[in-house]
Amino acid sequence: MIKKLLGLLIWVVAFNISAHELKTIDEIHSAYKNNKITAQQLTQGYIKRINQLNPQFNAVINIEPTAVTQAKKIDELSAQGLWAGPLHGIPVLLKDNIETTGSLPTTAGSLALKNNITNNDAFVVKQLRNAGAIILGKTNLSEWANFRSSYSSSGWSAVGGQTHNAHDTTRNPCGSSSGSAVAIALNFAPVALGTETDGSITCPASVNGVYAIKPSMGQVSRSGVVPLSSSQDSVGPMAHSLKDARLVLSVLQGRDPLDTSTHSFELQAQYKVTKSSLVIGALPSDKFTVETQRLYKKQLSALKKAGHTVVNINISDDLATLFVDEYYVLLYDFKKEINQYLANTPDQVKIKSLSALIDFNIQNKATEMPHFGQDILIQANAIDLTQTDKYQKTKHRYRTLATAAITNLYKNNNVDVVIAPTTSPAWKTDLVNGDNFKGSSSSLSAIAGTTHITLPAGQVSGLPVGLSIIANKNQPQAAYQHAQIIDTVFISHIKKPE
């Protein structure tokens, strides 16, 4: 008994490392096991860091009131020599379109949902809790997942204001999972979840210099997440390492009867690299900034010097209809699915339809539309949901085209992996004219439903630029192995300021 009490005393007082010094899951678990920090101390350290720095960046909307209590329970398990799971005592931040039990609302950034306290854990949150994670809070996002205005500023919401890039507060964080990416870059937590319909995980991760995974369709459930489009929506992790992002994804995945797209595929948490030399297909970078093109050449040179073969490839398929079709599918899905979601919100939420939401925004123009309007919401509301044949044909056409474009890149060029810059460096935030994207590599993976990984791969003038790994259809395991090989090269040779 005395020995147990002494061990507990050492566990409580032996605080000789601060939360901001710990980034990866392995580092945190090692600190726990070596009595250098407790889960309570770690959690309180993150909360203190958020309180100190968040006013400058607007990355976090709310701290979960039970976070410290959750941490104490983890410490009680640790004192008994027990382990809660692969994410034992790991604090996680959630994009504020992901529902949680308790008192926090799930707002999607909109004041119309400021009272949306569902007291429900999304499937992914249940998975996190079952793995021993601590739910730390909610992050800011582009309102309605950046599907409100053609002239929006990514990272802005009426609830959370404008999120700022972690490396330069005058620059944009990209969206819509802005707060999650900025929070990881600032080490507000070791792990955060984002959601993506097309680029909303990978772009913010790229411009803030963190690792992220947009998983394959059906790998991770969307139940308990405010919807944009069931055709493309994904939930995925952001972290300080590819290993951590992969581990978190292995926790999130699973079949969910509330999301019929989910299947029994299971990502292996650990894997063996089976190839020492890759044939890498490099997509062109001419749509990105000149500085990004220069960095890309440096990345390709480093890969060649490391013994890999780099082949310049290009998309041979005609994508003329792809983006028009995508926009129609998203408008159709959003109208149908947001109406269903709003109709089933708690009684205290008074906005029960897309039409009511549009009226709410007009009535609250000063707070909801001080910078840009809601033309996308209006276009979505005008969609005729009875045109199911048109919708199904369009969806089949665009998904078939995107899938063929990816598979042909692999088949026609006989490559192991396809890469491209994720996006250009962050642009200056402009609340008058909106976003200023310079290139993106997200759409084919988003539409085809394949895995898309982004790695921090260098900087341009102190601003991060990510590199995309675009997985072949039904080959995510290979993509993770190849991403690890490429990341190892970049860690050694590329990740230095320009």
What positions carry a catalytic annotation? 95, 176, 200
H or E stretch covering 193: strand 191-196
Nearest CA-CA partner of 256 in 127, 346, 102: 127
Distance, CA of 59 to CA of 180 (rounded, Å): 7
What amino acid is encoded at 301 in this protein?
S
Contact by Cβ (8 Å): 103, 149? no
Q: Rg of the chain over CA atoms, in angstroms?
A: 22
Are residues 24 and 64 in contact, defined by beta-carbon separation less than 8 angstroms? no
Label each residue of 398-411 as H, E or C.
Answer: HHHHHHHHHHHHHH
Cα 175 to Cα 143: distance, rounded to the nearest angstrom:
9
Alpha-carbon distance of 367 to 159, in angstroms, equals: 9
DSSP 69-126: HHHHHHHHHHHTT----TTTT-EEEEETTB--SSS----TT-GGGTT-------HHHH
